[in-house]
Amino acid sequence: MLKEYLENNNNHHAYLIEGEHEKVVPEIFEFVESLGIKVLNNPDVCHLVIDNFKIDDAFSVRDMAYQSGFSLSHSFTGEAENKKIFIICANNFTLDAEQALLKLFEDPVPNTLFYIIIPDVNVLLKTVVSRFHFISARSDLAEGEAEKFIKMSLQNRINFIKELLAEEEAPTKVGVLIEIGKESQRDSSRSKAISFLNSLECVLHNKISRTTLHMGITYFKHFFKIREFLRQPGSSVKSLMESVALVVPIL
């Protein structure tokens, strides 16, 4: 499905794809190969996997984008195999990083394609999103777990949250240019919390009827605030998610 979207818009310089990078990236690799561009052992294909994309990362990417590619330095024919490809997987972007990247996407670098993969499009400023061709490939929201969560007692919810966050105690990579085909990064507890919150919101939206929608607005407003706090460095993921356990009704 993703390949069809890419093929229909293959003249765009930057794509923003909402989904799980483990599922999305292989499809992008396949599409890039279909353009006649080698993915493996190609110095002009940059694959970056990172949890929190910061301003230093933005400067590095921007510098690489403005440098002549290895193949471009030998040919200016504009053929597909001479393109530079950036595939960036991130769970979150800091505000200053987004601002640093804005000009790069406003004034496209010739023969350069960007693929940004994020789990939730709402982590980005609308002005940044508007610079991309947006594709939503988010299919699995783990709604099964969310269905169970809304039926749990408060204590069981607290235990569930503890287990959810404990799964990510192993340190995630801060940022790494990885070798194609050897991707291995675990999402941070912060990004897992946001993903679960998305699932919970979707389930509640389906559960609440039109007649009780006014009651649901309270929960959704709380979710919105929690997302904002989760994206702030230093905020307590555990405390924020426990507040969700308190607010959500037992259905």
Q: Residue range 35-50: average pLDDT? A: 88
HSE, side-chain direction, 13 A CA sphere, residue 120: 23
Element holding 89 (H helix, E strand): strand 84-93
pLDDT tens per residue, range 164-189: 888 544 433 434 444 443 333 445 78
DSSP 3-state of 172? coil
Which residue has 């287990």 as its token pair? Answer: 163
Kind of pairing, strands 45-53 and 176-177? Answer: antiparallel
Residue 155 has a pLDDT of: 95
CA distances (Å), origin 195, targets 68, 92, 164, 201, 244: 37, 12, 11, 10, 13
The residues, any chain, with a CB within 8 Å of residue 127's CB and separated by 6 or more, are 102
Residue 173 has a pLDDT of: 40
Which residue has 């597909």 as its token pair? Answer: 80
pLDDT tens per residue, range 113-143: 999 999 888 788 888 999 899 988 765 556 7
- The vertex-91 CA angle with 123 and 227, nearest 5°, equals 45
Q: Residue range 14-39: average pLDDT? A: 88
| CA 109 from centroid of its chain's CA atoms | 23
**What does the mean pLDDT of the chain come to?**
79
pLDDT tens per residue, range 140-159: 556 788 889 999 999 999 99
pLDDT at 45 over 60: yes
- The vertex-14 CA angle with 10 and 15, nearest 5°, equals 80
From the list 116, 143, 144, the residue with the least C-alpha distance to 24 is 116
In the chain, the percentage of residues whose pLDDT exceeds 70 is 78
Which residue has 């310089």 as its token pair? Answer: 13
Q: Could you give the CA distance from residue 231 to residue 226 in angstroms, rounded to a whole number? A: 9
Residue 176 has a pLDDT of: 41
Say which DSSP state 54 is in: -
Would you list the domain boundaries of the chain?
A: 2-136, 143-170+183-247
Report the CATH fold assignment for 2-136. Rossmann fold (3.40.50)
